[in-house]
């Protein structure tokens, strides 16, 4: 074989290996992030209960992710870890709204398998930088390696892939946060900026629909889209332009809605109308 043919064969072999290596390097197991990057809207159900059965029911009901509420609930990290593990393999990705951007809160959330960190009450850039720092491994951040169930959930190559899979959501809930919306949206490492509808009203004194309120929302909207980040808000805002990330209802609201549907004779279990469901055969 001539040197030219040998060289051509070697180049072909290297070229055939590059796509596989690149694919292995950039494997995204966070399906919610994949949908966001594809420009799709994603919805997360809100979880405040520590019951694994409730968690699994919501995780298997069609939500893209679950907004696990650790800021405004008594949920402990050990309880949430058990819930995530009990429904491992479900379609909904576990996102955790942490109490604050502390190393302990974020480290525990990621170690137990959360692939989304929702950061409340952002009123300073340093707070967002801390969240990124503690959620990401070096060289991007300073997340330390330790114990946890993340490897069993997402694969033994988790350490190499985690930075590309974890989503950082920065919540703007006050006029102080609105004032730095441009800086938040411009910060590398922020994936989603969330306009917190109720707290924007509570902290500003203006109601949805009032010019002053809508001016704040518009400022957030324009800054986020300008910097190519994803824009989040309540599910009620699904038809507002530019929004792709939504917090859905909690388990209490869903139970009430399901009960009302059942009592009106609606077919909520997926069976044939007029035919009773087989006991023990409910969808999980």
Both tokens assigned to 109: 């959330």
Q: What 3-state DSSP class applies to 140?
A: coil
Cα separation of 221 and 217, whole Å? 6
Q: How far is CA 95 from the centre of its chain?
A: 4
Q: How far is CA 276 from the centre of its chain?
A: 37
pTM recorded for the entire structure: 0.86
- The tens digit of pLDDT for each residue in 191-230 reads 999 999 999 999 999 999 999 999 999 999 999 999 999 9
Q: Are 92 and 70 in contact (CB under 8 A)?
A: no
Q: Are 41 and 243 in contact (CB under 8 A)?
A: yes
Q: What is the CATH number of domain 27-263?
A: 3.20.20.60
- Torsional class of 82: left (φ above 0), alpha (ψ -120 to 50), beta (otherwise): alpha
Cα separation of 201 and 4, whole Å? 71
- The tens digit of pLDDT for each residue in 38-80 reads 999 999 999 999 999 999 999 999 999 999 999 999 999 999 9
């Amino acid at each position: 074989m001539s040197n030219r043919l040998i060289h051509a064969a070697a180049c072909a072999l290297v070229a055939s290996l590059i796509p596989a290596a690149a694919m292995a390097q950039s494997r995204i197991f966070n399906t919610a992030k994949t949908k966001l990057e594809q420009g799709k809207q994603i919805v997360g159900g809100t979880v405040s209960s520590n019951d694994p059965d409730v968690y699994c029911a919501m995780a298997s009901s069609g939500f893209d992710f679950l907004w696990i509420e650790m800021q405004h609930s008594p949920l402990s990290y050990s309880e949430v870890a058990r819930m995530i593990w009990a429904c491992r393999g479900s379609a909904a990705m576990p996102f955790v709204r942490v109490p604050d951007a502390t190393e302990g809160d974020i480290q525990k959330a990621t170690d137990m398998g959360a692939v989304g960190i929702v950061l409340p009450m952002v009123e300073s850039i340093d707070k967002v930088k801390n969240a990124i720092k503690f959620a990401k491994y070096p060289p991007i951040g300073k997340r330390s390696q330790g114990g946890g169930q993340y490897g069993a959930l997402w694969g033994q190559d988790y350490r190499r892939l985690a930075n590309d899979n974890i989503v950082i959501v920065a919540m703007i809930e006050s006029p102080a946060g609105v004032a730095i919306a441009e800086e938040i949206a411009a910060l590398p490492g922020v994936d989603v900026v969330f306009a917190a509808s109720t707290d924007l009203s509570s902290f500003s004194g203006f109601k949805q629909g009032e010019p002053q309120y809508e001016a704040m929302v518009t400022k957030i909207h324009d800054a986020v889209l300008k910097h190519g980040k994803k824009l989040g808000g309540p599910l009620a805002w699904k038809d507002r332009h530019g929004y792709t990330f939504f917090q859905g209802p909690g388990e209490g609201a869903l139970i009430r809605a399901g009960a009302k549907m059942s009592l009106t004779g609606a077919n909520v279990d997926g069976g044939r109308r007029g035919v009773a469901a087989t006991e023990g055969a409910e969808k999980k």
